[in-house]
Chains A and B, each alone.
Chain A
């Protein structure tokens, strides 16, 4: 069974990630990483790693996080790294790219008029970039649906 390393910051990014990985678990082994210990209980019983949290404001914390994620990814040896953001997810994707795994960025549904700042950086190296807004699917950015999934309008 192929393995996915799925990472996202706590909060909306993490909730979006789980809506994607839940169905993926039928086909893949999914290992999780997030920025808050309480996320482990939501990781559907999969293996879980804690990432340090930072934003672009305290970017110096990026370096220790990057080396820690490199170590974890070497150990897990996934077939693909998948993230919904934000900055810690980007660093995870970068570590995955260095190790030559497939890297997949799903830009948050919160970015309706342009890709997120982290998504624009990910475009330079990620093997696949998804947007959740059809208008933003151009120049190699792919739209294939949303984290919202099937909606029943009432």
Chain B
């Protein structure tokens, strides 16, 4: 199952529509968490306002996560060793307040942390790649150097 996460603040119809168009070519269920989406897809299941426990259950049973560039989702996917495809929102299309998702996705792709798709073709290709593996996994906490720096700063006079 492919679980799609679009966050709790704004709809992301462009992504839902693309997935709906790609879905018939895939031999796998797609479940999407949407947020007041106006577009009604025919080939994928959408769920609005998921309670946290149900969200967690879907998340952990998914093979693959497709998400807007929301940091919470990326952290959870990496902690659970799941591959994640980021499809950034574009503010110029009214999908966010500013273009930071585009920039963040680009930087995270350069760092080799996540898969990124910006077009329907790129998304389709990644979704049809067999056994997409997670690009990297993370532990349970921040860099030791960051924690150490904060510690020194607080303990210093």
Interface residues of A (CB under 8 A from B): 2, 4, 11-16, 19-20, 22-24, 27-28, 38, 79-80, 82, 102, 104, 106, 108-113, 116, 127-128, 130, 133, 142, 144-154
Contacts and interface: CB of A to CB of B under 8 A. Distances in A.
Interface of B: 7-8, 52, 69-73, 75-76, 78, 100-101, 103-104, 106-108, 112-113, 133-151, 153-155
Contact of B150 (A15, A104, A146, A148): A104
B153 A111 contact: no
A79 B113 CA distance: 35
B150 A20 contact: yes
B134 A154 contact: yes
Contact of A148 (B142, B147, B154): B142
Contacts of A13: 71
A151 to B, nearest CB: 5
Nearest to B51: A38
A127 B70 CA distance: 28
Contacts of A15: 71-72, 75-76
B143 A144 contact: yes
12 contacts: A12-B72, A19-B140, A23-B147, A104-B150, A113-B107, A130-B150, A144-B149, A145-B142, A149-B144, A151-B136, A151-B138, A154-B134
Nearest to A151: B136
A153 B135 contact: yes
A130 B146 contact: yes
Nearest to B155: A2
Contact of A110 (B52, B71, B148): B71
Contact of B100 (A16, A24, A27, A112): A112
Given A110-B104, A112-B107, A113-B100, A151 B113 contact: yes
B142 A146 contact: yes
Contact of B154 (A16, A80, A153): A80
